[in-house]
A and B are shown apart, each in its own frame.
Chain A
Amino acid sequence: MGVIKALDGNAAIAHGVMRSKVQLVAAYPITPQTPIVETISSLIDTKQYDATYITVESEHSALSAVIGAASTGVRTFTASASHGLALMHEVTGTCSASRLPAVMAVVSRAIPGPMCLWCDHSDIMTQRDQGWIQLFAKSPQEALDFIMIAYRTSEDERVLTPTMVDIDGFFCSHLTEPVDVPTEEEAERFITDFNPVNAVLDPELPYAINNLTSPAIFTEIKRSQDLGMRAAAGVLDERFEQFGELFGRRYGRILCENVEDADTVVVCMGSMAGTVQHVVRQLREEGKKVGILRVVAFRPFPAKEVAEALKNAKNVAVIDRVSAMGSFGPLYEEVLASMRLGRLDANAYSFVAGLGGRDIWEQTVEDVIARTEELGAENSVCDAPIWIDLKEEEVVTNG
């Protein structure tokens, strides 16, 4: 058992970075991620944490500095959100294709427009196919734990793929809870020294990386990346298991509660999972057969595990905290593909909720479940996402 501290999600991330013995941090502040940057620089400044912090002029430079440092065999970290993550977009692919095991915290905030400070998953979803492992934490404790698990997964020679640890802006980043912070000695039982297995840049032996790649080999490089990402599934399982044994906090790529005999299962990610879990427990007390399937690892997507978990469900409600305008939400599409894999024919409904900081509270979840049960009873087909908690009178059709 470590030291219990009252930390918000941002401070928990900073402590996770320190305990993971990250050697180099380069990040640019942006709401709601700024306190991560502040906390790390303060930990370094007060000599509680020995690392190099590079001040940069933009997020593009932050990740570029991380890529440069990681290429010399150094453990690295950056963090961003929304606009900042968009500015990094060009280099997130460079980092993953170079097989550099960096870790980034994404503090999810809506991508503009309209201009918005608050939480949704439109930023992290722009990165879903950029070749990064993506883990969604729901609480400050998980934020810290997942940072440590991310390094041990990304750096594994079977994987060599960077990881984004996502926390919800404000609903986790600014939410203060008791966090069990491992002592340095405890953390060292899990975090090993970084042993770069990939190419390491050396001034004595200069060569280029990431230069022009011809059609003759591009596809094979992408397939190699895909295999590394797929291997991450098994490595994540090993790390979650090992972490659970050492620290007593058990995680998995999916986390289920009450799904075995549930008629209706809610599938979700991020901080809303806590609220869904709370509502599911309350409804169970009233005798309602509902359950929650929480996706922790969105990349690599745990399709087989999702299919297995949903095998007894009659109705599946998937809540996306983003709108894929004109189509279905990204989590819903993954769940449908998983259900196909398991040859499941349960009713599945796509919900859009919690955009731009709108809270997903108990009533929102109750509404999702009630609507799903109604539609399920009619055996309705889901021909478009259902916008829950919408002020219909404010919606215009002519711009």
Chain B
Amino acid sequence: MWEFKFYSRGGQGAVTAAKILINAAILEGKFGQAIPSYGQERKGAPVYTYARIADGPIEVKSYVYRPNCVICFDTSLADLGIDITEGVRPGSTLVVNTNKDFSCDAFETVCGIDADTITHEMLGEVPPNVAMLGALAKATGCVSIESLLKAIEVKIPGKAGEMNARACKAAYENA
């Protein structure tokens, strides 16, 4: 079972990203679960979101404390004392939004993606969430890029969906 923990800030679209990811899993006939942890909602505040993907039904209904994949939308969360290696299992994957070389020994695989730049160039001033999903699909193979693009276009109908799907694909190819 894939167990994901998303680290982000309010406004970066991680909650929506987790839902799109689950939709992609469902399109493949898999089982998925997305569960955000809500605080007092404000832009910029740290937000944790969790997700699971498995081949069979998922009984557990709690947050993810021992992820095997971490998705970090913002490396500056470390300045707040937030530790993205907390509870990670051996052999885990990190997908991180960065424009620098990023290494972290706690993870077996580190996938860096400049989701902010891809998003800025292709979509403008919107959250980098679909680009992060593209990199996640590439790094883990938990869902196929085709299902992911379809899930994006279901969630965001029309031209905006097509543009988001293109940004997701660009991140998939650049990750």
Give A residues with C-beta under 8 Å from B. 4, 6, 32, 117, 138-139, 168, 170-172, 174-178, 271-272, 274-275, 277-278, 281, 359-363
Of the listed residues A6, A139, A277, the one surrounded by the most CB atoms of chain B closer than 10 A to its CB is A6
B residues less than 8 Å from A359 (CB atoms): 62-63
Contact A6 B32 (CB under 8 A): yes
Q: Contact size class for B?
A: 20 to 34
Known: A138-B61, A274-B60. A174 touches B32 (CB 8 A): no
Partner of B32, one of A32, A117, A177, A271: A177
Interface residues of B in 26-84 (CB under 8 A from A): 26, 31-38, 40, 58-63, 65
Given known pairs A6-B19, A6-B22, A6-B23, the reply for A175 and B34 (CB within 8 Å) is: yes
Interchain nearest-CB distance for B56 vs A (Å) = 11
- The answer to whether B59 and A361 touch across the interface, beta carbons within 8 angstroms, is no
**C-beta contact mask, B121-158 vs A, less than 8 Å → 1, else 0?**
00000000000000000000000000000000000000
Q: Tell me if B61 and A271 are in contact (CB < 8 A).
A: yes
Q: Is the CB of A176 within 8 A of B59?
A: no
Residues A175 and B19 in contact, CB atoms below 8 Å apart: no
Q: Ordered nearest first, which 3 A-B pairs have the shortest CB separation?
A: A361-B62, A274-B61, A278-B60
How distant is the Cα of A32 from the Cα of B22 in the complex, in angstroms?
21
Residues on B with C-beta less than 8 A from A174 are: 35-36, 38
The answer on a CB contact under 8 Å between A171 and B22 is no
Q: Which residues of A contact B36 (CB under 8 A)?
A: 170, 174
Q: Which residues of B contact A171 (CB under 8 A)?
A: 35, 61-62
- A360 in contact with B62 (CB, 8 Å): yes
Q: Specify which of A117, A138, A168, A275 is in contact with B38 (CB 8 Å cutoff).
A: A117
Given contacts A176-B34, A177-B33, whether A275 and B60 have CB atoms under 8 Å apart is: yes
User: Do residues B65 and A361 form an inter-chain contact, with CB atoms below 8 A?
Assistant: yes
> Residue B60 contacts which of A170, A172, A178, A362 (CB distance < 8 angstroms)?
A362
How far, in angstroms, from A363 to B87 measured CA to CA in the complex? 13
**Residues on the B chain within 8 Å of A277, using CB:** 59
Residues of A within 8 A of B31 (CB): 177-178
In the complex, what residue of chain B is closest to A277 when comparing beta carbons? B59
Q: List, sorted by A's number, 7 A–B pairs whose CB atoms are closer than 8 Å.
A: A117-B40, A170-B35, A175-B61, A177-B33, A271-B61, A275-B60, A362-B62
Q: In chain A, what residue has the closest Cβ to B36?
A: A174
* Cα A172 to Cα B18 with chains together (Å): 15
Separation in Å of the B163 CB from the closest CB of chain A?
22
Question: How far is A32 from B62 in the complex, measured between Cα atoms in Å?
Answer: 17
Write out the residue numbers on chain A whose beta carbons fall within 8 Å of the beta carbon of B58: 177
Q: A176 touching B22 by the CB < 8 A rule?
A: yes
Q: Which residues of A contact B38 (CB under 8 A)?
A: 32, 117, 170, 174
* Chain B: CB-nearest residue to A172: B61
A272-B61 in contact (CB<8A)? yes
Q: Which residues of B contact A362 (CB under 8 A)?
A: 60, 62, 65
Please, which residue of chain A has its CB at the minimum distance from the CB of B52?
A: A177
> With A174-B35, A175-B34 known to touch, is A275 a contact of B26 (CB < 8 Å)?
no
CB distance from A336 to the nearest CB of B (A): 26
Select one of B26, B40, B59, B62 contacting A6, CB under 8 A: B26
Chain B residue nearest to A271 (CB atoms) is: B61
CA distance A171 to B64 in the complex (A): 12
Query: What chain A residues lie within 8 Å of B18 (beta carbons)?
Result: 176
A172 to B142, CA, bound (A): 24
Q: Bound complex: CA of A277 vs CA of B22, how far in Å? A: 22
* Chain B residue at smallest Cβ distance from A31: B38
User: Complex formed: what's the CA distance from A4 to B63 in Å?
Assistant: 23
Alpha-carbon distance between A32 and B61 when the two chains are bound, in angstroms: 17
Q: How far is the CA of A239 from the CA of B63 in the complex (A)?
A: 33
A168–B37 alpha-carbon span in the complex (Å): 13
Write the chain A residue with the least CB distance to B37. A170
B66 to chain A, nearest CB (A): 8
Considering only CB atoms, which chain B residue lies closest to A360 in the complex? Answer: B62
Instruction: Please indicate the chain A residues that have their CB under 8 angstroms from the CB of B59 in the complex.
Output: 274-275, 277-278, 281
Q: How many angstroms between the C-alpha atoms of A206 and B40 in the bound complex?
A: 49
In the complex, besides A139-B61, A362-B62, 10 extra interface pairs with C-beta distance below 8 angstroms are A170-B35, A170-B38, A171-B62, A177-B31, A178-B32, A274-B61, A277-B59, A281-B59, A361-B63, A363-B65
C-alpha gap A176/B151 in the complex (Å): 14
Q: Hey, which chain B residues are within 8 Å of A4, CB to CB? A: 26
A363: min CB distance to chain B, Å:
7
Which B residues touch A177, using CB under 8 A? 22, 31-33, 58
CA distance A156 to B37 in the complex (A): 39
- Interface members, chain B 1-23 (any A CB < 8 Å): 18-19, 22-23
Q: In the complex the two chains form, what is the Cα distance from A363 to B65 in whole Å? A: 10
Residues from chain A with a CB closer than 8 A to the CB of B19 are: 6, 176
Residue of A nearest to B15 (CB): A174
Whole-angstrom CA separation of A168 from B62 in the bound complex: 11
B40 to chain A, nearest CB (A): 8
Residue of A nearest to B34 (CB): A176
